[in-house]
Structure 1
């Protein structure tokens, strides 16, 4: 029987790259997302379901369907999150703060809560949480995002403690700046806020790493597959950056 992975926000970006990497590694793949068009474009053979991870009833229904079709789960990738506003703390609207934490942090909690019974059935498994380098250093003008990404690390470490006796591991991946449409939106918003060009902001992010470059979604996906495999069987409670080594989290251009 194939090992089984479920990935939230798995129909595009990092999540889609994770699905493709797990598929190539021989896993059965299930992805949830709110983007119905992206779900429809997923490869044949993947299981899909539209799910808003901030809605507990929707998350509960997702895992009820997983239980009915698969009976259990081997790897859970908690990947859903939103960028939130690009504003200084004093200018962040409470509604925007709550929306960001609602998807990124509440969604991580709800996903873990309803997946754990399926993971426990096998008395083994792996939970991979997508955090961010913003969850290690902070992030000027992105307070809701940074708070949420710090929060999911605390959740991950608690899961690792609670579930270790059941043979279940939990780890967090902290991507740096990832090439793609989502980061492009961040670049454009930061350029406007800082009165800089998009390329200046891009170069600032890249120069803030030892390797002087952005990462790609496949780099994150490869780490997720490693953390979901037996090769990492005693790796738990860890925060692993895939970012080219951030040496200056707030570079000034």
Structure 2
């Protein structure tokens, strides 16, 4: 689970990695015989009884720096990824982060450019709110309406969803399922773990070879409950 790739001079939430660090992390994966792929590709491979050696890579929020900095790294290492974007904030910024700094988000053209490069585009909701606190109308807009808007942007079906802040409860998961998404990503969904609440591991600037090795081993334990996904 990545977010922004770029300047880390101000990073109060620890969501940014530098391009050099991302490049080193992807290189670490490849040297271990692993390859980053979109989540949909990973799930399809697992459904066929495969998927060994594949790692789902996700980038949340749809920052504009994805096209400038992340895409070249992904190309260099032959990796794919899923980019979760906010169709209600196209060309805006991360106004939901009170401490800033303000980071520009991709425009519709930027999202289409990423899609044309083979990046899977998924929804992160409309505006980046905690779905566990949303009323019924807002929950529908953040799930079903965001999917419809994003499908119009990329002229293709949108099958993946990502819960803002990683927070999910049974009601939010059911809304995502009802909206027609094939899967959804969380962070550590506990007993809700399954196709519509997939666990992920945050990867940050401090994650070198040793920390990445530990995180991959620990994640194997966390994902056992979704072994049939």
- Between Structure 1 and Structure 2, whose CA radius of gyration is higher? 1
Fold shared, TM-score > 0.5 on shorter chain: no
**Which interval holds the TM-score relative to the shorter structure?**
0.3 to 0.5
Q: TM-score, normalised by structure 2?
A: 0.37
Q: TM-score, normalised by structure 1?
A: 0.35
